[in-house]
Amino acid sequence: MTVPEGPGPHRRADEPSVVPVLEVGGSHVTAAAVDLDRARIADGTRRRLPLTPGIGPEDFLATLAEAANGVLAVGALGTRTDGGVRTDGGAYPVRGARPDRGAFPDRGVRADRGAFPVRGARPDRGAYPDRGTHPDQGAYPDRGAHSALGGYPAVGAHAALGTWGIAVPGPFDYARGIARYHGVGKFASLDGLAVGDLLTPRLNPRPARLRFLNDASAFALGARLTAHPGSRRLVAITLGTGVGSAFLDRGTIVEDDPRVPPEGRVDLLTVDGRPLEDTVSTRAMTAQYTDRTGRPVDGLRELTARAAADDATARDIITSALHALGGALAPWLTAFEADTVVFGGSITAAWPLIGPPLTAGLSHHTPSLARLTLSARADGEDQALLGAAAFAARGA
């Protein structure tokens, strides 16, 4: 069943209320500012730019920076630095900024990009309390800038100087911010790219920290915050180009535990001795359809559309794949004692088609799993953005 969204999460006093985030997908990057108090994307801040699977390192970094800087720019929020709003939604020039994006020296920024001490700030980057900012970067309520975000600090002020949350697909060294796309059929030219180190100086203003997390983990955190706040053990599965997964124990990501697959990755499981994604993935299902019919199919959306239009071959492929996925997931959901499973990704738009065989696969292996709460989220991007923000805020 699908569970309706609940209220926003409770935020600690020392956490930023507005957090800038990036969500990287196989075909796009989305940047936004997330208002954690309201558990929503701040109006007017979402920027989505295309990515191609074969994109090179320089273009990849430039695209991420363009999306991110569009959010940081006051124009993305429709606010001036003094809180004023242009009626046309355009940006007033940032005080102290040159048109070429370099800051004037008298505004506290050196030509070598090193910042002069901000009034009221300690050398360790923590602001003194009498400036209205908590020492560990949480803003006091009475210092919030009234902006298009409804009275919370604007991105480019407190939030931009703190921590970004960045959700990216694996394999990726999340602690060090390094891409590990070797032999996975996507972003091959980015393998070994130090995304964190190379992206940070391209952001204006430069953030103190970038926090990377798996895109499925971000989706899971967002879904728990907005729709399943009472879930004790939640598992998220994303279905698209491949199969992504995340296991949450009371909101904490679990990866190194005998109750979950290695690294918490369902894609490392097998079906009949073969990798799961040889059965359940865009590549596998569309290739099988072409092999059986001789007709090409453009991705899962078209395949599910054909199945919905009574194409028996398409329906059989989807039914078999999702039943197999249910069987592969069942022992791990049982071991983890999951109470909620949330599905996201492009294929969830066809939930009436994929839900029954998936549920049948789960209950065939373990009948008690029929009592699980199953939730399909069509707003996966929003959930991932919210989850990335919550993850970044907790580590700010």
Distance CA 296, CA 338 (A): 38
Is the Cβ–Cβ distance between 344 and 382 less than 8 Å?
Answer: no
Phi, psi of 193 (to 5 degrees): -70, 125
Distance CA 62, CA 74 (A): 20
Asked whether residue 287 carries a pLDDT value surpassing 90, the answer given is yes
Q: Which residue in 226, 181, 194, 206 sits closest to 389, CA to CA?
A: 226
234 vs 94 pLDDT, higher one: 234
Asked whether residue 127 carries a pLDDT value surpassing 80, the answer given is no
Q: What value does the mean pLDDT take over residues 110-125? A: 41
Range of lowest pLDDT (34-43, 73-82, 143-152, 245-254):
143-152
Q: What value does the mean pLDDT take over residues 55-82? A: 77
Reported as a single tens digit per residue, the pLDDT across 305-341 is: 999 999 999 999 999 999 999 999 999 999 999 999 9
- Tell me, what amino acid is at 365? H
- pLDDT bin (cut points 50, 70, 90) of residue 13 is low
Phi, psi of 321 (to 5 degrees): -65, -45
**What global pTM score does this model have?**
0.76
Task: Write the DSSP symbol of residue 105.
Answer: G
When computed from its CA atoms, the radius of gyration of the chain, rounded to whole angstroms, is 22
Q: Which residue in 244, 259, 268, 246 sits closest to 334, CA to CA?
A: 259
Asked whether residue 392 carries a pLDDT value surpassing 80, the answer given is yes
Handedness of CA 86, 88, 89, 94 (dihedral sign): negative
Residues 6 or more apart in contact with residue 30 via CB below 8 angstroms? 22, 23, 46, 47, 48, 49, 67, 381, 385
Task: Write the DSSP symbol of residue 127.
Answer: B
Range of lowest pLDDT (85-99, 141-155, 168-182, 227-241):
141-155
Is the Cβ–Cβ distance between 289 and 318 less than 8 Å?
Answer: no
> First-to-last CA distance in the chain?
35
- pLDDT bin (cut points 50, 70, 90) of residue 303 is very high
Distance CA 347, CA 353 (A): 10
Asked whether residue 108 carries a pLDDT value surpassing 60, the answer given is no
Helix (H, G, I), strand (E, B) or coil at 365: helix
Q: What value does the mean pLDDT take over residues 249-266? A: 96
Q: Which residue in 193, 189, 190, 254 sits closest to 220, CA to CA?
A: 254
Is the Cβ–Cβ distance between 40 and 124 less than 8 Å?
Answer: no
Q: Which residue in 218, 254, 158 sits closest to 383, CA to CA?
A: 218
